[in-house]
Amino acid sequence: CAPPDAVVWPQSVGQVQELAALCYRCRVPMVPFGTGTGLEGGVNAVQGGVCFDLSRMDTIAELSLEDFSVTVEPGVTRKALNSHLRGTGLWF
């Protein structure tokens, strides 16, 4: 496991954009982290960089029962989504 050099906790798309622009300008790797469910080692910071912990971005923005789709931010967990869907007949 290779830890990042720093961790940030953005809480909005605008903050993610600003941080990403700064990392891009400074040529610093960005390592996204949503809810920690990845098994592929995607959060392994092999070249250092900044970990964008997106777990605080946990809004469920839109639910469409008609087409079985939901728009969520990257920090929404499966359990939180299922809790939101309770009573609709749907689950993730």
Q: Do 40 and 70 fall into the same domain?
A: no
Same domain flag for 44 and 20: yes
Task: Check whether 39 has a pLDDT greater than 80.
Answer: no
> Does 49 lie in the same domain as 10?
yes
34 and 65 both lie in a single domain: no
pLDDT tens digits for range 58-92: 999 999 999 999 999 989 999 999 999 999 999 98
Determine the structural domain holding residue 16 and report its residue range.
6-53
Domain count, the chain: 2
In this structure, is residue 1 part of a structural domain?
no
Question: Do 54 and 8 contact (CB within 8 A), yes or no?
Answer: no
Q: Quickly tell me which residue has 């971005």 as its tokens.
A: 57
User: For the whole model, what pTM was predicted?
Assistant: 0.79
Q: What is the CATH number of the domain that holds 49?
A: 3.30.43.10
Task: Give me the pLDDT at residue 17, please.
Answer: 97
Is 14 in contact with 57 (CB distance < 8 Å)?
Answer: no
pLDDT at residue 16 is higher than 80? yes
- At 37, is the pLDDT very low, low, confident or very high (cuts 50, 70, 90)? low
